[in-house]
Amino acid sequence: MQHGLSFFSPPPAPSPPRVAAPATEPLHAVPSTLLIPLAARARGDALFPHLACHDTEAQRQLAALNTRVDSYLADYPTVLNILWRTRRVRAAGEAFFARHPLAWGVNLGCGLSHYFQWLDQGRNTWLDADLPEVMALRRTLAPHSSPRLRQAMLDLRNPQWWQALHLPRRALAQPLFMLCEGVLMYLQPAQVRQVLREFATQAPAGSRLLIDTLSQCAVGQAGLHASVCRTGAQFHWGIRHMRELTDCHPRLRLLQTHSVAECYGWAGLAMEALWRPWFSAPLYGLAELGVE
Ligand SMILES: C[S@@+](CC[C@H](N)C(=O)[O-])C[C@H]1O[C@@H](n2cnc3c(N)ncnc32)[C@H](O)[C@@H]1O
């Protein structure tokens, strides 16, 4: 993750790396945060070999961008958190597509991530979707290579964002695997509830949505985050209790949760234990939601 325990690192002077391929405009503040997970996946393996993700697509794209990311790699907790979440998402995707080999995966706010390199099971389909400026950058870096790998432009702030995915009937004839990582914390709380409601309303029964969550105490504190402070983006959404994820629609179920504390050993678990009497949500975690 690009969030979480690194809140407590001292903020260095802002100097955002420029994110743009030669043919595109520099990205705005929130879209430019895509460079943080890209850098971690491309270059973080050497820092945390036990969490290595071997992301050859991220390595290729980072080389093509020709942007310095040393400052992001110096934020060790963030690199670790992103590698941790990548592993968890990948494992959840593999398990899902083993059960549903013809299903579609949808990555909402995909940035430059490329999960299909790991989750292509031969018959499933993957749809990457993000804001138009990101999809334009993505096209210059990663041209389509498979009819089962698709792209869409969407803005999750639009209450009708689901329509922008243009999912065909065959995609909706079975459960969907949906992912939204490193995105929702940049939206307003009412917009996040609308994203969750739209998923609950539109997704076929048995679908999954994986999201990452920040604690409420991080809201407004992006300036203290060692990586995000360089981008000008701000955190607007966080949670105190896990039930906030399902309160907004009766079809929603919380199926699994994970806290990043699990990869910080006893220190992480001790910190989490101190935290729990006040908040049932972790400082940073992953949640798997399902619809009945
Ligand atoms: C920190 S990056 C995460 C990218 C990717 N999910 C990953 O983990 O590599 C945040 C992403 O959220 C996307 N995003 C932010 N607001 C969005 C919105 N309203 N609609 C769609 N995507 C959005 C940004 O464009 C950016 O790509």
Q: In 3D, which of 86, 62, 82, 110 has the Cα closest to residue 6?
A: 82
Check whether 3 has a pLDDT greater than 90. no
**What is the distance in A from the centroid of ligand 1 to the CA of 12?**
23
**Among the atoms of ligand 1, which is closest to the Cα of residue 86?**
8
Torsion angle (degrees, nearest 10) of CA 285, 280, 92, 173:
-120
Relative to beta strand 104-108, strand 125-130 is parallel
- The structure tokens listed for 49 are 């070999």
pLDDT digits (tens, 9 = 90+) for 24-52: 678 999 999 999 999 999 999 999 999 99
Ligand 1 binding pocket (C-beta < 6 A) is: 2, 30-31, 33-34, 36-37, 109-111, 113, 130-131, 134, 154-157, 181-183, 186
Check whether 1 has a pLDDT greater than 60. no
Q: Give the pLDDT of residue 173.
A: 98
**Among the atoms of ligand 1, which is closest to the Cα of residue 113?**
9
pLDDT tier at 2 (50, 70, 90 boundaries)?
A: very low
pLDDT digits (tens, 9 = 90+) for 212-234: 999 999 999 999 999 999 999 99
Position with higher pLDDT, 99 vs 16: 99
**What is the distance in A from the centroid of ligand 1 to the CA of 266?**
32
Which of 34, 88, 139, 184 for a ligand 1 pocket mutation test, highest count of atoms within 8 Å of Cβ? 34
The alpha carbons of the chain give a radius of gyration, in whole angstroms, of 18
Domain map (residue ranges) of the chain: 5-291
Q: CATH assignment of 5-291?
A: 3.40.50.150
Share of the chain above pLDDT 70, in %: 91
**What is the distance in A from the centroid of ligand 1 to the CA of 130?**
6
**What is the distance in A from the centroid of ligand 1 to the CA of 179?**
11
If one counts every other C-beta atom within 10 angstroms of the C-beta of residue 106, the result is 26
What integer best gives the mean pLDDT of the chain?
Answer: 92
- Please name the helix (run of DSSP H) or strand (run of DSSP E) that holds residue 118, with its range, or none: helix 116-119
Please state, in angstroms and as integers, the Cα–Cα distance from residue 173 to each residue in 100, 205, 234, following that order.
11, 10, 38
Q: Give the pLDDT of residue 5.
A: 34
Ligand 1, atom 4: closest residue by C-alpha: 111
Check whether 177 has a pLDDT greater than 90. yes
If one counts every other C-beta atom within 10 angstroms of the C-beta of residue 193, the result is 17
Buried b / exposed e across 27-49, counting CB within 10 Å, b at 16+? beebbbbbbbbbbbbbbbbeebe
Residues 6+ apart with CB under 8 A from 239: 213, 214, 215, 216, 245, 281
Q: Give the pLDDT of residue 138.
A: 95
**What is the distance in A from the centroid of ligand 1 to the CA of 288?**
18
